[in-house]
Structure 1
Amino acid sequence: MKKMKKLVAFLLVAAMMVPMAACGNKVKSVGDIQKSGKLVMATNAEFEPFEFKDGDAVVGIDVEISQKIADRLGVELEISDIAFDTLITALQSGKADIVAAGMTADEDRRKNVDFSDAYFNASQAIIVMNDSDIASRGDLNGKKVGVQLGTTGDKYCTNEDGANDIEVAEVKRYSKGMEAVSDLIAGRIDAVVIDDFPAKKLVEKNADKIQKLDEALTEEEYAIAMPKGSADLQKEINAVISEMKESGELDQIVSKYIAEE
């Protein structure tokens, strides 16, 4: 009888914990964010000019867009600088309200998060040594390629399902693009695949050694990510992006950072 009572008690506790856990994973509404007084933006500040460090501050195109969203909601913008491959987890666990990190709105990610309308068209650039025999994207076949962990370049070069037309010999992953470039210069890899704008910055700093190919590996679009089911937040973010496009403000922000290159 005692064992039966203990079992019943255990089942009652377990049943009570299920709804509690569900509440913990509740998607925040715009009202919830406004009540908290802050919009938490998760990013990886290693992606100039979209997000990068200027002293102790994180600045860049994505930061300015996120600030406009925070202003529309009437809250403060709080920036969480974390590893790129943990950004979606931060959304799913409720540690962040949005991800603005030069993130490509691809189909795999759409299974786990919702995206805003696209705010930028981008591409995956190929960086090689100045004397490299790699002259086009097709020349990456059979080569050792460095990528930033969790990016579109990583997924494309890894090519797990074999659907892509490029088959590299080996993919080496890095937390930062500059680490991949260092290995390229040191001769440890044959090429680096990374987003176009950071690629330009990296090449500019090492123009005597490396170059960016004219041909891109892939074309893509950046959008702001949010937890699945964030319909009201998505509506507000899309409204901000639309207004910024129509007014020309988005182009002005992008041009400001690109001009600094």
Structure 2
Amino acid sequence: MNASLTRILPVLAAGALVLAGCSSDGDTPAATPTSAGGASVSLVKEGVLTVCTNPPFAPFEFEEDGQIVGLDMDITGEVAKDLGVTQTVLNIGFDAMASGAALNNGQCDIVATGLSITDERKANLDFSEPYFDADLGILVKKDSGIASETDLAGKRIGVQISTDAETWVNERELGGVQFADLGLQIQSLNAGQVDAVMNDYAVLGSYVADGYELLAPVSTGSTYGFGVKKGNTALLEKINGTLERIKGDGTWAKIYTARIGVAPSED
């Protein structure tokens, strides 16, 4: 992973769950020549890069003015630009993306949803080079009496299905309660249905101002990558090429600073 592509706590607020863009019409994938030349990339809809994601997961994907935006959409937008096509963003269930089903069913070309790269997921989809480090965070109400991960025993912990947080909780045989997305996790915590919420540290920081407390990060060594259908080497190469380009021409620093609130680390 490039050292400049590292995690720093975000400051943006999460948006509401919303569908944006148009769904694939089921057309046969068409070869789309790229503006930069080289091998053609087959897309599920000619002239359109279709991206699957699952908001709310700010600052990576969230709703703003009726559209799904965020750091992931900014990057995939650059991929579309390099391909010489437009971009459409679809709201798809997280499990369908993590399992590769959304790609195999032709719903989209890229999964871009703060998706951690794991060996299990590599069996179902191919990943780009990592672009972001991902630790886990624990969000609780202030004065909850939960000060660290050691205080979670016997507590109800809201986790998003098919995520690293769910795996972490299950491996420790803690009281995990499954939710389809981050927004439902937060609603459940607010209603007192769970005692804590566990998800990626970078997305939980924006809730601190809402009367919650974010505990010290739980290091996982995980990184985010963009997923494509197994064997879609041409598209994967284009994504990695875009990641390299935006790092070199200053675009990454602009995107990162706008979405995260600080400049990326150069370490």
TM-score (norm 1): 0.79
Residue 219 of structure 1 and its aligned partner are, at CA, apart by 3.9
Distance change (3 Å), C-alpha of 1:225 and 1:126: same
Would you say 1:109 and 2:121 are equivalent positions? Answer: yes
Q: For residues 109-150 of structure 1, give each alpha carbon's deviation from its aligned partner in whole angstroms, at most 9, with x where no partner exists.
A: 001000000111121111112112322223223321101222
Moved more, 65-74 or 248-257: 248-257
Matches for 1:229-244 after TM superposition, within 5 Å? 229-244=231-246
One-letter code aligned to 2:257: S
Once the two structures are superposed, what CA deviation does each residue of 1:37-91 show, in whole Å capped at 9, x if it has no partner? 1111111121111111112111110111001101111111111112212223111
Number of aligned pairs?
227
Aligned ranges for residues 28-67 of structure 1 at < 5 Å?
30-33=40-43, 36-67=46-77
Structure 1 segments unaligned to the other structure (5+ residues):
1-23, 160-165
SS in 2 for 1:47: coil
After the TM superposition, which parts of structure 1 deviate over 4 Å for at least 4 consecutive aligned residues?
24-29
Distance 2:44 2:85 in 1: 6
Normalised to the residue count of structure 2, the TM-score between the two structures is: 0.78
Tell me the equivalent position of 2:139.
127
What residue in structure 1 maps to residue 86 of structure 2? 76
Q: Note the aligned Cα RMSD (angstroms).
A: 2.4
**Quick check: 1:137–1:215 contact (8 Å CA) kept in 2?**
no
Alignment match, 1:251: 253
Q: What is the distance in 1 between the residues matched to 2:202 and 2:137? A: 8
Contact 1:142–1:167 under 8 Å retained in 2? no
**Alpha-carbon separation, structure 1, partners of 2:196 and 2:102:** 31
Contact 1:97 1:227 (C-alpha < 8 Å) held by counterparts = yes
- If each structure's helix is expressed as a fraction of its own residues, which one has the higher value? 1
Q: Which runs of 5+ in 2 are unaligned?
A: 1-27, 33-38, 263-267
Give SS of 1:36's match: coil
Identity of aligned residues (%): 32
Cα deviation for residue 177 of structure 1 reads 1.9
Residue 182 of structure 2: aligned partner: 177
